[in-house]
């Protein structure tokens, strides 16, 4: 069980709003939603932190990888180049606990500019 003392004004507003939205069992339901939201946000921050490092490393070793592994899939995770293979499935097991990995086929080009279409044009 978790016990925490909140600032009084925050607690009063929380209880009032939770009661309005959830009725009976309001505190428990509102706390569950709040914790789930917080966890999602923190998970996203952790992914972004790993992504930043992995992208930096990719740019540092990109030329070398293109030279040594043409047309191979490569994986970078935890800030390290971990391996290369003919298929991405062959690399699925690498860094299994990582939240973010870079996976890319070396030497393959992709369109840099996307035509958005009407659905996104006015985003």
Binding site for another protein (CB under 8 A): 40, 43-44, 47, 51, 54-55, 58-59, 62, 88-89, 92, 98-104, 110-123
Query: Which residue lies nearer to another protein by CB, 27 or 47?
Result: 47
> Got the DSSP string for 60-80?
HHHHHHHHHSTT-EEEEETTE
CB of 74 to another protein, least distance (A): 10
**In this structure, how many other beta carbons lie within 10 angstroms of the beta carbon of residue 47?**
13
Residue 105 contacts residue 69 (beta carbons within 8 Å):
no
Query: Which residue lies nearer to another protein by CB, 7 or 122?
Result: 122
């Amino acid at each position: 069980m978790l016990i925490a003392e909140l600032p009084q004004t925050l607690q009063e507003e929380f209880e009032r709003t939770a009661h309005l939205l959830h009725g009976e069992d309001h505190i428990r339901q509102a706390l569950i939603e709040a914790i789930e939201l917080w966890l999602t946000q923190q998970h996203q921050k952790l992914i972004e932190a790993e992504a930043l490092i992995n992208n930096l490393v990719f740019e540092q070793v990109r030329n070398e990888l293109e030279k040594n592994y043409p047309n191979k899939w490569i994986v970078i995770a935890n800030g390290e180049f971990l391996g290369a293979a003919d298929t991405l499935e062959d690399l699925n097991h690498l860094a299994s606990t990582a939240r973010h990995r870079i996976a890319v086929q070396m030497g393959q080009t992709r369109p840099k500019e996307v035509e958005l279409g009407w659905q996104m044009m006015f985003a």
